[in-house]
Structure 1
Amino acid sequence: MVIRVDSHRLAYMAVPKAACSSVKAALAALDPLQSENVAEQLGQKQVHAIYPTRRFRRHRWDHLENHFKFTVVRDPLKRLLAVYTNRVEGLGILSHSRKIRRGRMHLPTEPDPDYFFQNLSAYIATSSDIKHHTLPVALFTGTDWRTYTRVFRTDEMAELGAALSDHTGRDVTIPHFNSSGRRLRLDDLSVQTQRVLKVLLEDEYAHLARYFDNPFETGQVPAVA
């Protein structure tokens, strides 16, 4: 599903764990279908109810020729580490897993980072939330970056706000949601876990090569807040 604000000719493809809550809130404030009072008071659950994140469908995207078409992408390692710090550690999302609670999957609901990433496939099978937030970016963006007017990185929210302001003639500020409580670095993880992540993220870094360097190749290891 394309997230559209047709009154301003805006079209956005959301990527989970790539500032999508923040961008959706900014779009709601522009959307005449949302009252100003509602837009100002929106929380994370409300913006996702208004603008669900759906997978990319080319036939729904290509015909929006006159729209400002954009997405926001995040460094793949930071995005994956944030699944742990925000969803697992911060929100305790695994405690809601029916499969674990009912004993069909024997996994800890409060795993340490090494255990979580080394058993990520099992947690994906256990939790639809974990699955949703770890799906490949290409499922949400498509594979052809040329279909976008602009692609922004998550460290370019000021630039996104300025671009939306220029396009709409409105003063647009992107709010900040979902900041995790602690910083997790790749070198906080065991060597075995790092090897697992290197393999898991190889295709993601290939897809996003024009926007991010692969730290497993360059030695530049980012931290995530």
Structure 2
Amino acid sequence: MVHTIYPTKRFRPHRWRKYEDHWRFTVGRDPLKRLFSAYTDREVARRELYNSRLLRKQKVLPLDPDPDFFFQNLEGYMAQASVVKHHVLPAWLFIGPAPLRYDAVYKTSQIDALAEKLSALTGETVEIPRFNSTRTRLAFDDLAPETRDALRTFLAVDYEHLAGYYKNPML
């Protein structure tokens, strides 16, 4: 629903220039939690891998992978399923290169503070509802050592890019 009203777009410098005199903000999510959500929400809860024509046609990547197989083969799933690719691409593609040029950067855990700031700026009450609360939980320690290594490598760029906002829990 939120993405219908405010679609996610990749950062483009030419789009940025026309808003230089505006108050600019972004909301970032912890990279590991974002990847876990791509699996638990998109694959386990919604079973969206079944919607990928390319995945259904091939025989190498299962449509119901366990988390270890999914993350160890993440690049294959990205190549075969756009829903996976969109949810695991690096954050810098959407929020721009470092240094971030925002007046404020909010973590997803700070959504209430963002609503308060937007309310103060607009003089209107702003409420930001929460969506996609997945019941399935996944922890880094639940994964096989090979999977943890694959995630460390895959997320290194994101954690470096967001170092001022998120501490890499995999170090």
TM-score in terms of structure 2 length: 0.95
Task: Provide the rounded CA distance (Å) in 1 between the counterparts of 2:136 and 2:123.
Answer: 37
**1:103-142 correspondence runs (5 A):** 104-142=58-96
Q: Structure 2: which 5+ residue stretches go unaligned?
A: none
Task: Provide the rounded CA distance (Å) in 1 between the counterparts of 2:6 and 2:128.
Answer: 16
More strand, by proportion: 1
* Residue of structure 2 equivalent to 1:143: 97
Q: Which residue of the other structure, out of 138, 145, 163, is the alignment partner of 1:191? A: 145
Q: CA RMSD in A?
A: 1.3
Task: Provide the rounded CA distance (Å) in 1 between the counterparts of 2:116 and 2:134.
Answer: 26
The 4+ residue runs of structure 1 with deviation greater than 4 A are none
* Residue of structure 2 equivalent to 1:50: 5
Matched residue type, 2:52: S
Q: Tell me how far 1:105 sits from its aligned partner.
A: 4.7
Task: Indicate the larger mover: 65-74 or 190-199.
Answer: 65-74
Q: In the alignment, does 2:22 pair up with 1:60?
A: no
Bigger relative contact order, structure 1 or 2 (CA pairs below 8 A, ≥6 apart):
2
* Residue of structure 1 equivalent to 2:41: 86
**1:97-108 correspondence runs (5 A):** 97-102=52-57, 104-108=58-62
Describe the superposition over 1:170-208 as per-residue Cα deviations: whole angstroms up to 9, x where unpaired: 111110101111211001111111111111111110000
Q: Tell me how far 1:65 sits from its aligned partner.
A: 2.6
Matched residue type, 1:66: D
Task: Provide the rounded CA distance (Å) in 2 between the counterparts of 1:113 and 1:185.
Answer: 10
Kindly indicate whether the alpha-carbon contact (under 8 Å) linking 1:62 and 1:147 is maintained by their aligned counterparts in 2.
no
Q: Structure 1: which 5+ residue stretches go unaligned?
A: 1-43, 218-225
TM-score in terms of structure 1 length: 0.73
Kindly indicate whether the alpha-carbon contact (under 8 Å) linking 2:55 and 2:61 is maintained by their aligned counterparts in 1.
yes
**1:139-218 correspondence runs (5 A):** 139-217=93-171
Matched residue type, 2:9: R
Matched residue type, 1:99: L
Equivalences, count: 171
Which secondary structure state, in structure 1, belongs to the residue aligned with residue 70 of structure 2?
A: helix
Kindly indicate whether the alpha-carbon contact (under 8 Å) linking 1:83 and 1:133 is maintained by their aligned counterparts in 2.
yes
